[in-house]
Structure 1
């Protein structure tokens, strides 16, 4: 098995803390050196205590699922002899409530649009490739959210 590392760092600075009027902005540093600004979602904690320009955990989860799916899709398309020129996904996630009344990511919808050169797959082949990608995606296998793929050709 492989290990994947991220360092999450937040500092209070001179902000008050006990009154909850502190910034939720922080940094995500990944093992390859990339740094991403993170924050709570403005829908959860109002601005200025959230940074709307930063990535919130819910967006990161949706992006992670979409990215993992895309990487597997590209692999399966290449194995099928297809040439992918472009892949774009307008993915979204929905928070719901579980049996205990706690908020969780209940559904994620992937909306990949793919452009191919040369041989063009029909919708059945496209759907099969996306099914295989979904079955292989480590991230999709790690969550309990319902994940729907609505694939189209460009």
Structure 2
């Protein structure tokens, strides 16, 4: 079995001078770095005292599911002769906070809107979402349902 290794660096940038001396005395800001790539500014969700102008872990997790599905989907379309000219997914997820303050995702819905070049490709284009879901590394790593509501257009 082939193994792939990944490495990221997350550095807290929210020390306002007194560290974590109190819950309200520090920012949740951080920088996510990967060698040779643009840095991502992160924070917690605004519900948890985060900066709404920065990406939060929940959004990045949702984006990981969406982009993994898209990349597999485009791969399978190219193999099947389905010519995709546009792909937009407005993914949505539900995270449930528990009584002790922890939480977990309970559901993600991917809503890809795909444009293909010919009407004859529509049925295959719809079917390939199932195959992409089966192969998506991220979807295969979660313990909640990842649903799909695809729309296929012809232009």
TM-score with structure 2 length normalisation? 0.87
Q: Secondary structure at the match of 1:113?
A: strand
- Which moved further from structure 2: 141-150 or 15-24? 15-24
Structure 2: distance between partners of 1:148 and 1:70: 14
Q: Secondary structure at the match of 1:121?
A: helix
Structure 2: distance between partners of 1:86 and 1:127: 14
Q: Counterparts in 2 of 1:2-151, with a 5 A limit?
A: 2-11=4-13, 12-21=15-24, 22-43=26-47, 45-46=48-49, 50-96=50-96, 102-118=102-118, 120-122=120-122, 124-151=123-150
| C-alpha RMSD of the superposition | 1.9
The structure whose residues are more often helix, as a share, is 2
- Which moved further from structure 2: 2-11 or 64-73? 2-11
Shift of 1:66: 0.2
- Between the two proteins, the alignment pairs up a number of residues equal to 148
Shift of 1:26: 0.5
Gaps of 5+ in 1: none
Change (3 A) 1:137 1:87: same
Q: Secondary structure at the match of 2:121?
A: coil
Contact 2:82 2:124 in 1 (8 A): no
Contact 1:82 1:119 in 2 (8 A): no
Structure 2: distance between partners of 1:33 and 1:97: 33
Structure 1: distance between partners of 2:92 and 2:16: 34
Structure 1: distance between partners of 2:38 and 2:96: 31
Structure 2: distance between partners of 1:118 and 1:127: 13
